């Protein structure tokens, strides 16, 4: 089989390419966004595309929409989604006969997805032309159903999902409730849980906060966002200021800016 890898995360592309190199799959090219995906699919006409769902600009489902607009004249490859969606949404994808891979990638799961794609290609090639057209139409119906599911998922409350962190060259899915705090230093956002530290893909704390539940996460300082349920102790500091001792391994002490002192007193009735 021939394949394309489309993902805006370099580590994800490298990890998937490493796993595919163990098989007979020939990776024709790699892309970093949806616009490149459409161009590469048209140019290479691969058997299968590993397509990230969430990418800047044209995302995964927008790529499929664009291809389906010209499905009668364009090659529609087998699509295997790479996604950071939670398990509930991912299982919904699986019902529609289009496979998925949950990040970080699992070798056995990649092999299973490849086998599904291989079997489907064999079925299509074994049919005569008229049946192939019908199979293609059936596939379009399944893709359409999947697109609807993805759109519904993206329209769901955005604060209910997980956060993707990069830690030791891996991409990890973290429940929001497990986050102790996040900090930014020289443009790099570090997210800390009781058991690990990782970096967020977000460029600013404002962007990260937009993904988090506003009833739980609070911008205590211009450089820190804290989970109020993970504050272990409020420590009085100099000149009527405070620090927050968190419940991570290091029991990190985070300053509360003067502008946020009033909010702190409201939260804990100080």
Q: What is the pLDDT of residues 232-266, one digit of tens each?
A: 999 988 777 889 999 999 999 999 998 898 888 88
pLDDT at 231 over 50: yes
> What contacts 243, CB < 8 A, 6 or more positions away?
234, 235, 237, 253, 254, 255, 256
Question: At how many degrees (to 10) do helices 60-68 and 129-155 cross?
Answer: 140
State the pLDDT confidence band at 267, using cuts at 50, 70 and 90: confident
Give start-end residues of each CATH 3.40.50.2300 domain in the chain: 2-156
Q: Phi then psi for 9, rounded to 5 degrees? A: -100, 115
| CB-based burial label for 259 (10 Å; 0-12, 13-18, 19+) | exposed
Span 35-41, mean pLDDT? 92
Q: Decide: pTM greater than 0.85.
A: no
**SS3 label, residue 10:** helix
Give start-end residues of each CATH 2.40.50.1020 domain in the chain: 160-268
Topology (CATH level 3) of domain 160-268: OB fold (Dihydrolipoamide Acetyltransferase, E2P) (2.40.50)
Span 148-157, mean pLDDT? 51
* CA distance linking residue 50 with residue 27, whole number of Å: 10
Indicate the class that CATH gives domain 2-156.
alpha beta
| CA nearest neighbour of 196 among 224, 226, 173 | 173
| CA nearest neighbour of 37 among 16, 15, 53 | 53
The Cβ of residue 73 has, within 10 Å, a number of other Cβ atoms equal to: 5
């Amino acid at each position: 089989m021939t394949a394309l890898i489309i993902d805006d995360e370099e580590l994800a592309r490298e990890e998937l390419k490493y796993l595919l190199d163990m098989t007979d799959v020939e990776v024709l090219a790699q892309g970093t966004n949806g616009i490149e995906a459409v161009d590469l699919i048209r140019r290479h006409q691969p058997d299968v595309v590993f397509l990230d769902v969430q990418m800047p600009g044209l995302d995964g489902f927008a790529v499929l929409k664009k291809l389906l607009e010209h499905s009668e004249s364009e090659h529609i490859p087998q699509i295997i989604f790479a996604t950071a969606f939670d398990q509930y949404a991912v299982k919904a994808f699986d019902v529609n006969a289009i496979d998925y891979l949950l990040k970080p990638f699992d070798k056995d799961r990649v092999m299973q997805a490849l086998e599904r794609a291989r079997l489907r290609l064999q079925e299509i090639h074994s049919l005569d032309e008229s049946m192939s057209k019908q199979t293609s139409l059936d596939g379009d119906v399944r893709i359409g159903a999947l697109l609807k599911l993805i759109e519904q998922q993206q329209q769901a409350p955005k604060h209910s999902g997980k956060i993707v962190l990069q830690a030791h060259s891996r991409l990890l899915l973290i429940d929001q409730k497990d986050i102790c705090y996040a900090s930014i230093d020289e443009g790099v956002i570090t997210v800390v849980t009781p058991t690990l530290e990782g970096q967020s893909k977000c460029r600013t704390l404002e962007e990260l906060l937009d993904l988090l539940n506003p009833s739980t996460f609070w911008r205590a300082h211009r450089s820190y966002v804290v989970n109020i349920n993970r504050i272990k102790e409020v420590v009085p500091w100099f000149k009527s200021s405070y620090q927050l001792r968190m419940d991570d391994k290091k029991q990190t002490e985070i300053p509360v800016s003067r502008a946020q002192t009033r909010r702190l007193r409201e939260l804990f009735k100080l």
